[in-house]
Structure 1
Amino acid sequence: MGNQELPERAPRLRSPNSSQAYARVLGTRAGKFVEFEFSLGDGDLAVELILPLLAFTEFCKDRQVILLPPAEAIAADLARLAWRAGQPGLLRRPEEDASGS
């Protein structure tokens, strides 16, 4: 196998805000941890992470994450976990706060 020239990659189109962070809660573990998917930009690449609830909320706050809605059953589990940890309303979106709902 000699030196073969690799084909040039087409430039990747970026969205206007390719650094926007997103998270979708996938579930909870042991009643203490939040399992979630995290991505930047358009979501072509995401990583799954697990953090304690309070660390998850800090992680999201520090990165100005937009929380995507989880499945209904997962939302109920997360709401119970957040309530026990003194963090009710964790899944509330900022626009819901602004509208007063």
Structure 2
Amino acid sequence: MSTEAPPMDTTRRFVRLSGERPKGFIEFEFAIGEPEIFVEMILGREAFAEFCAANRVEMLPPRDPDAPQGDWDWRLADATHTRFK
């Protein structure tokens, strides 16, 4: 019995919407191969639509804001609400 993980499928692209800013800017997470490993991006509405079409993304459901979070479950956007000393 093999315990090797299946290879990552880099042809799969994922987008999860995370917010919208004034003037139509869309905040989202973009991942290739694994939805859990993503980068945070912001694009204008038209550029976002083009980006999604060009990458043939799979849309993921929004994150549950009531789900318990661990120490590593935060986004860069969360830092805008945190005061650092």
Residue in 1 aligned with 2:50?
58
- Two-structure CA RMSD over aligned residues (Å): 2.2
Q: Deviations over 1:5-56 (max 9, x none)?
A: xxxxxx86414x3320000000001141000000011224200000001100
Ranges in structure 2 where 5+ consecutive residues have no aligned partner: 65-85
> d(CA) in 2 for partners of 1:34 and 1:24?
11
Runs of 4+ in 1 over 6 A off after TM superposition: none
Ranges in structure 1 where 5+ consecutive residues have no aligned partner: 1-10, 73-101
> d(CA) in 2 for partners of 1:26 and 1:33?
11
Amino acid at match of 1:66: E
- Aligned residue pairs total 61
Residue in 2 aligned with 1:47?
39
Which has more helix, going by share of residues? 1
Amino acid at match of 1:58: E
Shift of 1:65: 0.5
